[in-house]
Every structure is written in structure tokens, then in C-alpha cells.
Chain A
Amino acid sequence: DAGVIQSPRHEVTEMGQEVTLRCKPISGHDYLFWYRQTMMRGLELLIYFNNNVPIDDSGMPEDRFSAKMPNASFSTLKIQPSEPRDSAVYFCASSLGQSEYEQYFGPGTRLTVT
């Protein structure tokens, strides 16, 4: 298995633009997690899905952020409109369970909003 795949690896955009980050989880994993990592706030859980259904989105910072999982092999995290404070590394992870199994992380997308 290729592991968790994220695209793009790097994204540079201007403030106000829409940004879409993509994730392909490991086949057979029922849970998918989106995280944001910054120096100031560390690793923050934004949202996670179980069987394509959002379970907890309380970590999504504001309405500008949205996430979808239309099927078991694909998820997106969208920021619209983007702001400079959204600059961070965004990780996607997948797992067989909520906490009783390890999470497998993708390589991350480094987002820079100017």
C-alpha cells in the first residue's frame, strides 16, 4: 500500500483565494482525520470521519473551513476565503479505529497564504 496520499505537497496562494487540500486514505481504514500543525499551536485535530460521516468537527476554526468525504477513498479540506493566519502544515491521517488503532499520517500539505 502506498500509505496516505496528500496533494498538493506545497500550496502558495494569495489571501482571499480558495484552497482545496486532498487526501486519499489507506484502503480499508474506516477513520480519516484532518490536522493542522503550526509552531504556535502544535498539532490540532480539525475534524474526523468514520465511514465517510463527520464525527467531530469542533476543531474546525471557523466557517471558512469545510471538509467532505464523498467516498471511502477521498476527502477534501477547503478554506474559502484563505487568510495569512491559515498558513500551516495540514496533515491527513487514517486508521482502523478512533483511538485503539494507530493513525497513519500522510506527508502533509504546506500551505502558505500571502
Chain B
Amino acid sequence: LAKTTQPISMDSYEGQEVNITCSHNNIATNDYITWYQQFPSQGPRFIIQGYKTKVTNEVASLFIPADRKSSTLSLPRVSLSDTAVYYCLVGTEGDSSYKLIFGSGTRLLVRP
């Protein structure tokens, strides 16, 4: 069964770097890995996307190993406003056809 796995929760302090890993063993060959952030009562919001190696933008970095079976979202120097739920989204190829699957989400709490 195609599955996308993330830690349920993480705690951090302001100014620290946070790394959240998503496992996606059955990622589709040509698919991208995308990460989203969600605040309460809002829809998910795009953070970063990549296909392989490393991608960096103004808010995060995304590390993808050569086998692409996992990915790590890195948030440098988190602040209180980064407290949210973070999801990975990948397309997977399992027993049946292609499926777009969100991870279960990682609830990040940033403390002062």
C-alpha cells in the first residue's frame, strides 16, 4: 500500500533549525515532492518543491537523497509564527494506479 509517513509532532525553540522528514517509498518516477504549511482554519500553503538533490528558497530548504524515497524539509531559525502543521505531498505508484497522497502532517510547536 502506497504510504507517506511523517513524525506526528516536533518541538523547537525560536532561532533553531528544524528538520522534518517524510518517507515516501513508492514515489512515482517522474513526480515532484512538495511541502505545504497549514495554520488553523486555513487551507494549506505552498512552501517548497523539488525533484532531486537540494532546493532552497527564501523560507526553506528541501533535501532529497538519490533514491528519492524520503525528503527533508529544513526551516532555518524558526520563529513563533512557524508554529503550524507541515505536510509533504507526493505522487505514488502502488499496486493500482498513480495516486497523489498527502503525508499525515507534522505539528511543529515553536517555543519562545
Interface string of B41-57 (1 = CB under 8 A from A): 11111100100000000
Instruction: Give which listed residue, A43, A99, A103, A108, contacts B105 with CB less than 8 A.
Output: A43
Interface size class of A (residues with CB under 8 A): 20 to 34
Nearest-Cβ distance from residue A92 to partner chain B, whole angstroms: 9
Give Cα A105–Cα B102 distance, bound, in whole angstroms. Answer: 14
Q: Are B87 and A43 interface neighbours, CB within 8 A?
A: yes
Complex interface: chain A residues within 8 A of B42 (CB) = 107-108
Interface string of B6-44 (1 = CB under 8 A from A): 000000000000000000000000011010100001111
Q: Are B105 and A42 interface neighbours, CB within 8 A?
A: yes
Restricting to A33-60, which residues have a CB under 8 Å from any CB of B? 33, 35, 42-45, 48, 56, 58
Nearest-Cβ distance from residue B3 to partner chain A, whole angstroms: 12
Give Cα A4–Cα B45 distance, bound, in whole angstroms. Answer: 12
Interface string of A97-114 (1 = CB under 8 A from B): 011101111111000000
Which positions in B face A, CB cutoff 8 Å? 31-32, 34, 36, 41-46, 49, 87, 89-91, 96-102, 104-105
In the complex, the 9 A-B pairs of residues with the closest C-beta atoms, listed nearest first: A105-B43, A102-B46, A43-B102, A99-B91, A99-B32, A99-B31, A42-B104, A100-B32, A105-B44
